[in-house]
A and B are shown apart, each in its own frame.
Chain A
Amino acid sequence: MQKNILIIGTTSAIAKATLRLYAEQNHNLFLVARNESLLQTVAKDAKIRGANQVESYACDLADLSCHASLLENITLSYPKLDIVLIAHGTLPNQKECETSVQNTLQEININAISTISLLTLLANLFEKQKSGSIAVITSVAGDRGRQSNYVYGAAKGMVSTFLQGLRNRLNDSDLQVLDIKPGFVDTPMTADFKKGPLWAKPEQIAHSILKAIDKKRNTLYTPWFWWGIMLIIRNIPEFIFKKLKL
C-alpha cells in the first residue's frame, strides 16, 4: 500500500538516505528543506527512484512563523499522513556558544524549538487521524550533558523529553512516536571529525530507521551498540562524570 510520507530537513544526509528507500518502495513523499535548488534535486532523484508522487516545499525552519502555512500546504497535498520524519539540525560550535548568548539561543532554536513547534502542530493532526508514525532524529548526545557539546545535547535532550510526553499522551490512539538517537554518522555535519570504527554511514542509519518505524519501536539507538555505550554513560555517577574530559 502506498503511504504518504513527510520528510522535514530533506537535504540532510540521513534524511536523504531514508527517503530514497521510501521512494524505491513507490510511496508518496512531501519534502521540506530550506535550500530550494538542492530540494528540487532531491525531489527529482526520488521520482526517478520510483516515488509515486513527490511534493516539495522550501522554508527556513528556524523561522517559526512559516510552520503553520507549511502544515496547510502539506494537508492540501496529503489529507492523511502515514509517516513523518523530522531530521533537520545543526551542530553548534560549543566554544562559540559559551561566549555568545545569541549563538546559544539560535542553536537551541533550530535544534529544539523549531522541532517542538512542528511537533505540536503535527501531533494534533496525527491525533485526529488516530494512526501513523512520528519519527524524530535527536541524538545520543541528548542522553547526558558533556562539556564538549552540551548546548547541542541540551537541545536534543529537550526534544527527547518532549517526545516521551507525546508518546504517553498519544498512547490510546494507534500512534507511534519514535525517538531516533544516532551515534557518530559520517555526514556533512561531521565532515571535520576524524573517523574511526564507531562511525556509521547514513545508509546504514536509514535502514535502521525504516525497520524501527515498521516495528513500531519507541526509541532507536543506531547503530545498535550505542544502546550499550549510552547505558554505561548514563549510569556513571555524577561525582565521577563531572571530572571526565568528555
Chain B
Amino acid sequence: MKLSGWGRYPITKTQTTYATQPGLVASSIEAEKTTQIARGLGRSYGDSSLAEHSINLSKMDDFISFNEINGQLTCAAGVSFAEILRVFVPKGWFLPVTPGTQFITVGGAIASDVHGKNHHIEGTFCEQVSSLKLCLASGEEVECSKVHHPHLFRATCGGMGLTGIILQATFTLKPIESAYIKETTIKTTNLAETLAKFEEHASATYSVAWIDCLATGKQLGRSLLMLGEHASPQKTEQTQQKPPFQDSQTAKTSKFNMPFDLPSFTLNSFTVKAFNALYYGKVRQTQSERLVHYAPFFYPLDSIQNWNRMYGKNGFVQYQFVIPKSAGLKGLTEILTEIANSKRGSFLAVLKVFGKANDNYLSFPEEGYTLALDFKMDNTLLAFLDKLDEIVLHYHGKLYLTKDARMSEQMFKQSYPQWQEFQKIRYQYDAQTCFNSLQSKRLGL
C-alpha cells in the first residue's frame, strides 16, 4: 500500500498492520523487526510516520478510566482528540493542549510533543501527561513517567515513535463552562507591531497570528492576531442563546470535502484570496470581538476534509521553525523577506510565541517565535528550503520534526543538541534495532 504524511510528500510503499488491542502490538513488533514505525492518523506532514512496515494504532481507541472530579483521563493511544472532545465537551471538559487539527491521536500527540495556542502558558501536551505505557522492542510493556524510567519518558515524549509503541497515556482534562471561545482579533500593520501585540497580550490563554506572507516593505509581517478565552455560560446565552455545551459543530466539522486533487495552478490565487478575503479584508476594525464555537476557533482547517489535496498531486512541505526571542524581529524579517521575494504563496502562515522549553530530548518548542508555512512541492523548492535552513541555523533556530520531510542530517544534529542523549536511550532499550522511520534514517538516528 502507498502511504504518505499529510503533505503527501514523500510517498512510500508500506505494509500496514492495525493493532486493535495491546496484546497484538507486541506480536506485530516481533513479526516485523528492523524497519517499523507507529502511525496514528497520519497528520504529521513529512516522513516521520513512514517506514517499510507501519503499525497503525488508530483503531485501538478505548477510554480506560476517567476521574469525574479532577478530570484525569486514561485512554488507549489511538483515541483521537476529536473523539475526546466529542465525548467530554458535553460533560464540561476540554483538552489541556491541542494543535490546529483535532484529527490526531493521543499517541501521535505525545510522539511529536505537540503544542497549541496556549504554549506560552501551559507548555506542550506531554507536560500534561502524567504517565504512559510503552511497548518496547522486546515486546515488554513498561509504564513510564517523570518518576518511573524518567529518561525513557523524556525520550518518548517528542521522540517521533523511535523508542517504541505508546499503548496508553494518562493526562488531565481541563474544566470548561461552555463550548464557546471569546475571540478577540487584532489587526496589525507590520511585524514589529505584531510582536509587540503578542507581548502586550502575554496573559491571554490562547494566542496565534496569521501573517500575510506576501506583504512586503513597510507592511511586511502584517497580521491578524487572534486571542481566545473560554467563555462563561452567561456570556454565551446573552449573545447567541446557545446551550453552553452544544456540540453539533464537532460532529459535523467536515462539511466540505476536497474529493480530488486540485490542479496545481489554482493554488496561488486561492492562497492570496483566502488570506485577504477571509483573514484580512474581512476584519475592518483594528480590534474586534466575537463568540465562536471551539471548533472553528481551534480547527479552522478541519472543516475542509482533505484540504491537503489543494496543493495538487505533487504534495507540499510544511516548514515550521522556531528562533529564540533575542533573534526575533531581525530573524523573522530576514526570513519573511526571503519568502516574499521568492513569490511562493503560502496558504498557511502561522506565527506564535512559545513559552519555556521542557527537557524532553527532541521536543520542538523553546522560548521564541515559531512560524509555520506551507510550500507547494516543485523542483526548485528543496533548494529554496535549504536556503531558509541556513538563515534559521544562523539565528540558532530549529525545525519541527513532525512537519519535516527533507532537512539534512547535519542541520538536525546541529539544531537538536540533545540528539546523542536521545540515541543513548534508544540503544539502552534496543529501539534502534526495530523502530526506524524514513525520517530517522535521513537524520542519521
B64 at the interface (CB under 8 A from A): yes
Partner of A42, one of B18, B62, B65, B87: B62
Interface residue total, chain B, C-beta cutoff 8 A: 11
Q: Mark A13-44, 1 if CB is under 8 A from B, else 0.
A: 10000000000100000000000001001101
Nearest CB of chain A from residue B141's CB, rounded to whole Å: 14
Taken together as a complex, chains A and B put the C-alpha atoms of A44 and B63 apart, in Å, by 7
What is the chain A residue whose CB lies nearest that of B76? Answer: A41
Report yes or no: A188 in contact with B18, Cβ–Cβ below 8 A: yes
Taken together as a complex, chains A and B put the C-alpha atoms of A38 and B62 apart, in Å, by 10
Nearest CB of chain B from residue A230's CB, rounded to whole Å: 25
Contacts of A191 in B (CB 8 A): 18
Partner of B20, one of A24, A50, A188: A188
Contacts of B66 in A (CB 8 A): 48
B interface residues with partner A (beta carbon < 8 Å)? 18, 20-21, 59, 62-66, 87, 91
Report yes or no: B18 in contact with A45, Cβ–Cβ below 8 A: no
Contacts of B20 in A (CB 8 A): 13, 188
Report yes or no: A44 in contact with B18, Cβ–Cβ below 8 A: no
Q: Mark A40-70, 1 if CB is under 8 A from B, else 0.
A: 0110110011100000000000000000000
Nearest CB of chain A from residue B27's CB, rounded to whole Å: 14
Contacts of B87 in A (CB 8 A): 24, 48-50
Report yes or no: B21 in contact with A38, Cβ–Cβ below 8 A: yes
Taken together as a complex, chains A and B put the C-alpha atoms of A44 and B64 apart, in Å, by 6
Nearest CB of chain A from residue B252's CB, rounded to whole Å: 12
28 A–B contacts from the bound complex (CB under 8 Å): A13-B20, A13-B59, A24-B87, A38-B21, A41-B21, A41-B62, A41-B64, A42-B62, A44-B62, A44-B63, A44-B64, A44-B65, A45-B62, A45-B63, A45-B64, A48-B63, A48-B64, A48-B65, A48-B66, A48-B87, A49-B63, A49-B87, A50-B87, A50-B91, A188-B18, A188-B20, A188-B59, A191-B18
Taken together as a complex, chains A and B put the C-alpha atoms of A191 and B20 apart, in Å, by 11
Taken together as a complex, chains A and B put the C-alpha atoms of A158 and B83 apart, in Å, by 38
> Given known contacts A13-B20, A48-B66, A50-B91, what 20 new A-B pairs fall within 8 Å (CB)?
A13-B59, A24-B87, A38-B21, A41-B21, A41-B62, A41-B64, A42-B62, A44-B62, A44-B63, A44-B64, A44-B65, A45-B62, A45-B64, A48-B64, A48-B65, A49-B87, A50-B87, A188-B18, A188-B20, A188-B59
Contacts of A44 in B (CB 8 A): 62-65
Taken together as a complex, chains A and B put the C-alpha atoms of A191 and B91 apart, in Å, by 35
Contacts of B64 in A (CB 8 A): 41, 44-45, 48
> Secondary structure of the A side of the interface?
helix
Contacts of A42 in B (CB 8 A): 62
Taken together as a complex, chains A and B put the C-alpha atoms of A159 and B118 apart, in Å, by 55
Nearest CB of chain A from residue B19's CB, rounded to whole Å: 10
Contacts of B62 in A (CB 8 A): 41-42, 44-45
Taken together as a complex, chains A and B put the C-alpha atoms of A13 and B91 apart, in Å, by 25
Contacts of A49 in B (CB 8 A): 63, 87
Taken together as a complex, chains A and B put the C-alpha atoms of A168 and B66 apart, in Å, by 45
Most chain B beta-carbon contacts within 10 A, residue among A41, A45, A191: A45
Taken together as a complex, chains A and B put the C-alpha atoms of A38 and B76 apart, in Å, by 13
What is the chain B residue whose CB lies nearest that of A44? Answer: B64
Q: Mark A164-199, 1 if CB is under 8 A from B, else 0.
A: 000000000000000000000000100100000000
Contacts of A45 in B (CB 8 A): 62-64
Taken together as a complex, chains A and B put the C-alpha atoms of A49 and B75 apart, in Å, by 12
Taken together as a complex, chains A and B put the C-alpha atoms of A235 and B267 apart, in Å, by 48
Taken together as a complex, chains A and B put the C-alpha atoms of A38 and B60 apart, in Å, by 11
Nearest CB of chain B from residue A133's CB, rounded to whole Å: 24
Taken together as a complex, chains A and B put the C-alpha atoms of A50 and B93 apart, in Å, by 14
Taken together as a complex, chains A and B put the C-alpha atoms of A49 and B66 apart, in Å, by 10
Chain A contacts with B in 185-228, Cβ cutoff 8 A: 188, 191
Nearest CB of chain B from residue A207's CB, rounded to whole Å: 10
Contacts of B63 in A (CB 8 A): 44-45, 48-49
Nearest CB of chain B from residue A121's CB, rounded to whole Å: 30
Nearest CB of chain A from residue B72's CB, rounded to whole Å: 12
Taken together as a complex, chains A and B put the C-alpha atoms of A42 and B373 apart, in Å, by 41
Contacts of B59 in A (CB 8 A): 13, 188
Nearest CB of chain B from residue A20's CB, rounded to whole Å: 9
Task: Give 7 nearest A-B pairs by CB, closest first.
Answer: A45-B62, A48-B63, A48-B66, A45-B63, A41-B62, A49-B87, A188-B20
Nearest CB of chain A from residue B245's CB, rounded to whole Å: 13
Taken together as a complex, chains A and B put the C-alpha atoms of A212 and B65 apart, in Å, by 32
Contacts of A50 in B (CB 8 A): 87, 91
What is the chain A residue whose CB lies nearest that of B62? Answer: A45
Nearest CB of chain B from residue A232's CB, rounded to whole Å: 25
Taken together as a complex, chains A and B put the C-alpha atoms of A173 and B87 apart, in Å, by 37
Taken together as a complex, chains A and B put the C-alpha atoms of A24 and B91 apart, in Å, by 11
Nearest CB of chain A from residue B85's CB, rounded to whole Å: 13
Taken together as a complex, chains A and B put the C-alpha atoms of A48 and B75 apart, in Å, by 10
Nearest CB of chain B from residue A127's CB, rounded to whole Å: 36
What is the chain B residue whose CB lies nearest that of A23? Answer: B87
Most chain A beta-carbon contacts within 10 A, residue among B21, B62, B65, B91: B62
Taken together as a complex, chains A and B put the C-alpha atoms of A231 and B66 apart, in Å, by 47
Nearest CB of chain B from residue A198's CB, rounded to whole Å: 15
Nearest CB of chain B from residue A5's CB, rounded to whole Å: 18
Taken together as a complex, chains A and B put the C-alpha atoms of A24 and B87 apart, in Å, by 8
What is the chain B residue whose CB lies nearest that of A35? Answer: B21
Contacts of A13 in B (CB 8 A): 20, 59
